[in-house]
Amino acid sequence: MASSGFSWTLPDHPKLPKGKTVAVVVLDGWGEANADKYNCIHVAQTPVMDSLKNGAPERWRLVKAHGTAVGLPSDDDMGNSEVGHNALGAGRIYAQGAKLVDLALASGKIYDGEGFNYIKECFDKGTLHLIGLLSDGGVHSRLDQVQLLLKGASERGAKRIRVHILTDGRDVLDGSSVGFVETLENDLSQLREKGIDAQIASGGGRMYVTMDRYENDWDVVKRGWDAQVLGEAPYKFKNAIEAVKTLRAETKTNDQYLPPFVIVDESGKSVGPVVDGDAVVTFNFRADRMVMLAKALEYADFDKFDRVRVPKIRYAGMLQYDGELKLPSRYLVSPPEIERTSGEYLVKNGVRTFACSETVKFGHVTFFWNGNRSGYFDETKEEYVEIPSDSGITFNVKPNMKALEIAEKARDAILSGKFDQVRVNLPNGDMVGHTGDIEATVVACKAADEAVKIILDAIEQVGGIYLVTADHGNAEDMVKRNKSGQPLLDKNGAIQILTSHTLQPVPVAIGGPGLHPGVRFRSDIQAPGLANVAATVMNFHGYEAPADYETTLIEVVDN
Ligand SMILES: O=C(O)[C@@H](CO)OP(=O)(O)O
Ligand SMILES: [Mn+2]
Ligand SMILES: [Mn+2]
């Protein structure tokens, strides 16, 4: 910060000492909900997390993890990892990508910016390609934003538009892809009536095509590249509605895993490969699952897969996805400027930090935690360990994932005495919850609970402090419900499995032998959320949080 008088030095906490080892455990997708058979956390044996609950109200409480409490447009928006970890790490609530794009579209500012003017240069002679997740989930993208962008771009000169869709089924119900494609087709046909050559050109399921993250499996991105850029895919259809319906029925895959397809014309030729002189926009606002494609589209030097043909294009992201890498260099909307995160403050005050997860969540406790910034603040004081995730499987097949390995790494880091903060993300509840497999999710919750035990035992041994929390709900509710909370049935009388996150609050549990006996949760904070955690953790390290941070959850009473 340039303002005069700014200092990275944190004030000492008046009562809490420095030098304690603090474990910060984030259970991904672990919310609090009524106990019934669709609450996998309740069904699973989770003795450790259950015992922490006994600390309520002084050492266990709930905080908000969705909606405006984490910077999303409304309280109807479920939480997600990006906004959750941003809030946990930054200690403040930032208007997040979803909201910033809404504002830019509503004001029309999106069309005045550098990014739009850059791609607009291609409208005369080239094609505008839009690539992204097609749903109203609001986690990575939103269909209504795509609709507005299509309208806005066509009004501003785009004459030929191709949309490359990724079907969802993870943030929305499985099978809902058909309806989203119908809505989009309807808009495109209206554009065609106005003389604009607008079509869907390719597609595929988000988890199988394009939207990998943290470089877990480049084949996913390659499958997308082949369909979107080269116009090649194992399946060819005349239209996208038929494509999605047929592939769901015939390949027995769900929306998340649809194989890649291209739309072809009468002569069997793909209708929309990306060629020299075209413009490309990736319309997801969320970063993690667009970074890999952004690299493939933007980098001249690229060796992750054979791109075969690298068209000379003008590319812009909906947002800039990585502030440190400045990737992509052109974007339509500026991302939230998340600065002065707790990680940076603590490192600058000498707190040695260890962070660990497996690949699929590794960036959550590093990149998202640090305000969408990759890399270390100070290599001499930080160590980030990534445990390779299994790739090419759905995680209901191996619901234990790498929970044990993550916990053992954390345990070793705690016992080594080399670190003051040991931070992990345990992915199980979330990653397995997204598969919609209830039995496997129960196993996943148990595995996460066992991992927590290993970490808390290590904290016990070194006389440290723990804070266990979650980034949003998922595994605690696996069924779509009506307004009064009853499971919704489809026309065949079957329950509708909920693969998405939820609106539920998440627990925060604190304790450990190093925690001052007078520490307890305050009862005077109105509806605290994840952003209140950062100041709390700073307190455990013996510091007070900066004045503009959301307030700490704790107080220290003299006993
Ligand atoms: O898998 C993901 O990309 C999202 C859901 O869309 O989950 P999370 O926010 O937990 O990473
Ligand atoms: Mn998450
Ligand atoms: Mn998730």
Is residue 284 in contact with ligand 1, taking CB distance under 6 Å?
no
Residue 499: strand, helix, or coil: coil
Vertex 187 angle, CA 191 and 241, to 5°: 120
| Residue 218: other Cβ atoms inside 10 A | 17
Establish whether 361 is an annotated binding residue: yes
pLDDT value at residue 427: 98
Average pLDDT over residues 524-551: 98
DSSP state of 486: P
Q: 490 pLDDT band (50/70/90 cuts)?
A: confident
Inter-axis angle of helices 291-298 and 218-225, nearest 10: 60
Establish whether 471 is an annotated binding residue: yes
Give ipTM to 2 decimals: 0.98
Is residue 81 in contact with ligand 1, taking CB distance under 6 Å?
yes
Domains of the chain: 22-95+337-488+501-556 (3.40.720.10), 98-333 (3.40.1450.10)
Q: Which of 434, 474, 499 to mutate to test the pocket of ligand 1 (most atoms within 8 A of CB)?
A: 434
Q: 4 pLDDT band (50/70/90 cuts)?
A: low
Q: Is 374 annotated as catalytic? A: no
Comparing CA positions, the residue from 442, 395, 405, 440 lying closest to residue 426 is 405
How confident is the model over 131-145, as pLDDT tens digits? 999 999 999 999 999
Q: Which residues surround ligand 3, an ion (CB under 5 A)?
A: 430
- Structure tokens given for 184: 């989009």
Comparing CA positions, the residue from 442, 286, 426, 447 lying closest to residue 358 is 426
Model pTM score = 0.96
CB-based contact 532:469 (threshold 8 Å): no
pLDDT value at residue 200: 98
Average pLDDT over residues 531-535: 99
